[in-house]
Amino acid sequence: MKSIWSKTVDIAKRSTLPGDLKTEVAVIGAGLAGILTAYLLQRRNVKTIVLEANEIGSGQTKNTTAKITSQHYIIYSKLVKDFGFEKAQQYATANQQAIDDYRRIIREENISCRFEECPAYLYANDRQNTKVLEEEARAAQKLGINAEFTLETGLPFPVEGAVRFNNQAQFHPLAFLEAVSEKLDVYEHTRVNNVEENKIFTDYGTVVAKQIVFASHFPFINMPGFYFARMHQERSYVIALENGAKLEGMYIGIDKDRLSFRNFDELLLFGGGGHRTGENSVGGKYDFLSSRAKELYPESREVGRWSAQDCMTLDGVPYIGQFSSSNPNWYVATGFGKWGMTSSMVAANLIADAIVGKENPCREVFSPSRFTPSASLKTFVTDMGQSVKGLSKQIFKIPEKTLASLPTGHGGIVEHDGQKVGVYRDEDGSIYAVSVRCPHLGCQLEWNPDEKSWDCPCHGSRFDYRGKLLNNPAQTDLEVR
């Protein structure tokens, strides 16, 4: 299930790490955040290399809806209450600047990436949410954002209210990524196995760097930092429609179904169905979107579908900056929520400034050192409780009669002699059996029927039905049974 971005841009492949290297900065992860960080550092004459486990843009960047917006759901009224006006102002300023930076880079580099300026709408169908939108509009205005409450939208149904953010944008993320990565030193298919102080270990050699940036979506180093106890991951789904509608701007709802709309060329990208990773055992997310699309746009035809995964922090603000107090030369960019485009640019600016010793006035609100001990401990205990639920250390060969009731094209957990194993029967009847213990921290995996994958409800690692790793923080495949 390729995204429309992957279908329309094929970024040139790069070689693996050629052996042991030394550099000023090493960036782990060649998604938008990692590539932009390397791009900004190179422009400041800082020798930088990028290490990527797969290929440039092969992680979350290729699956985004690619909205470049400072409108991040209900955020500004919450920030003012929880962080205070000054830090809320930092968040608003950094994200507004990120939009301007995209405009500037695209203009200076003459990048053809379907960049379009348009408004972004946050809308509600439920009257009870109108007050929430009005508060969000007022908070955004006070923080200097060109935003307004309105009842007028281009949606195919009436709304009880909406917040319109003006001067926002959308683009083709891989076309942009292809251009900015062109002159960077990127090594693909070079998974980082471990990092110790200033040394990075891969199967192809060791990299020694003065500064190291973790831009791998979810940090795979558990300690220090304890990011696994401060974040979870969520999935969401998108279908691409022909004969949908040409909308003025981008939209996302705040009601229960939280539908998302934006155009790309003649297509309508229609999204929703979000859930915590590992909590979709029933499935039906694509069916839900297809059904709603037919209700709203009876003449539409689905021409593509894909899904995305997002890291969610405890307080809704990304962790960007120094990885931990014990590792002053490590930096991290994670927890972007559903807003990876602007957050990637914010992260690149903050980290590049920190590495060259430039004070950034917006850094404090994003600091990873902020910590909520009680909330983090609760998350950790809950996850560890799930990690040992119904698991054992050894799984034996499953008799065929145990699998006889499993239909083709379906997967699930079966039990034999008190042991649990994940099985999938493909359309030809072949059986694939894997461990259901996540190799990250041991949580029990759950079957995701929409994507035929094994997903971790604790920290969001994902594996295909063969056991191959799809999403970190896990670093290895599942054991095959």
Q: List, in order of start, the domains of the chain with CATH numbers.
A: 4-64+174-229+316-371 (3.50.50.60), 117-170+230-312 (3.30.9.10), 373-481 (2.102.10.10)
Q: Please give the pLDDT value at position 245.
A: 86
Q: Which two tokens stand for residue 319?
A: 């962790």
Q: Are 311 and 317 in contact (CB under 8 A)?
A: no
Q: Taking Cα atoms as reference points, which of 304, 177, 182 lies closest to residue 237?
A: 304
d(CA 475, CA 481): 19
pTM for the complete prediction? 0.88
Residue 218 CB partners (closer than 8 Å, separation 6+): 227, 228, 231, 233, 311, 334, 459, 460, 471, 472, 473
d(CA 402, CA 111): 56
d(CA 38, CA 30): 9
In 82-214, DSSP assigns E strands to 116-124, 147-150, 161-170, 185-187, 192-196, 199-202, 205-214
Q: Please give the pLDDT value at position 375.
A: 43
Q: Taking Cα atoms as reference points, which of 365, 317, 310 lies closest to residue 67?
A: 310
d(CA 287, CA 182): 39
CA distances from 229 to 63, 125, 373 (A): 25, 35, 10
Q: Are 363 and 347 in contact (CB under 8 A)?
A: no
Start-to-end C-alpha separation, the chain: 27
Backbone angles phi, psi at 310, to 5 degrees: -130, 140
Single-letter residue type at 206: T
Residue given tokens 């996850």 in the structure block: 383
Q: Please give the pLDDT value at position 393.
A: 35
Residues in the chain: 481
142: exposed, middle or buried (Cβ count in 10 Å: 0-12, 13-18, 19+): middle
Paired strand residues for 301: 242
Buried b (16+ CB within 10 A) or exposed e, 49-79: bbbbbebbbbbbbbbbbbbbbbbbbbbbbbb
Q: Indicate if the alpha-carbon torsion angle 461, 332, 196, 17 is positive or negative.
A: positive
Q: Which two tokens stand for residue 46?
A: 């800082």
d(CA 212, CA 155): 45
Residue 278 CB partners (closer than 8 Å, separation 6+): 443, 445, 446, 448, 455, 456, 457, 458, 460
**Angle formed by the axes of helices 32-43 and 173-181, nearest 10°:** 40
Q: Please give the pLDDT value at position 472.
A: 82
Single-letter residue type at 283: G
What element of type H or E holds 242?
strand 231-242
> Is residue 106 helix, strand or coil?
helix
Question: Per-residue pLDDT for the chain (481 aa), expressed as one digit of tens each?
Answer: 789 999 999 999 999 999 999 999 999 999 999 999 999 999 999 999 999 999 999 998 999 999 999 999 999 999 999 999 999 999 999 999 999 999 999 999 999 999 999 999 999 998 889 999 999 999 999 999 999 999 999 999 999 999 999 999 999 999 999 999 999 999 999 999 999 999 999 999 999 999 999 999 989 887 888 888 889 999 999 999 998 889 999 999 998 888 999 999 999 999 999 899 988 888 899 999 999 999 999 999 999 999 999 999 999 999 999 999 888 999 999 999 999 999 999 999 999 999 999 999 999 999 999 864 444 444 444 544 444 443 333 334 555 555 566 677 788 888 766 778 888 888 877 888 888 889 888 889 999 999 899 999 988 899 988 889 898 888 888 888 7
